[in-house]
């Protein structure tokens, strides 16, 4: 489960949340049955705490938000999309070590 620092988004609040953010937004597209998704969950919790507001981390469950995932071109999970100023600036697919995810975020911060 996400920490208090990580929001769960769906098709009703995704666009507004992404566009309203004044910091980069890392979106984790995941599913409850996905083993690699479960592996990076705790890593994202740690990064949300360590980055102390420099990035907003959010999660989208692809099973309950299939139309949104399809619209955004999510073909494999876990998929991390990094948004800046409401636009996707980079994507990472698959479970990666904490250092790789941190570097991925910092590259665009």
Indicate which residues carry an active-site annotation: 34, 37
Q: Give rounded-to-5 percent helix, strand, coil for the chain.
A: 35, 25, 40
What sign results for the dihedral spanned by CA atoms 79, 80, 82, 86? positive
CB-CB contact of 58 with 7 (8 Å)? yes
């Amino acid at each position: 489960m996400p920490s208090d620092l990580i929001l769960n988004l769906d098709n009703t609040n995704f666009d507004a949340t992404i566009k309203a953010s004044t910091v980069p937004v890392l979106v984790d597209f995941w599913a409850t049955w996905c083993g690699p998704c479960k592996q990076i969950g705790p890593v994202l919790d740690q990064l949300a705490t360590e980055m102390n507001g420099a990035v907003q981390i959010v999660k989208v469950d692809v099973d309950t938000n299939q139309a949104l995932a399809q619209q955004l071109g999510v073909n494999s999970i876990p998929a991390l999309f990094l948004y800046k100023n409401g636009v996707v600036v980079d994507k990472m697919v698959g479970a990666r070590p904490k250092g790789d995810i941190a570097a991925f975020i910092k590259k665009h911060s």
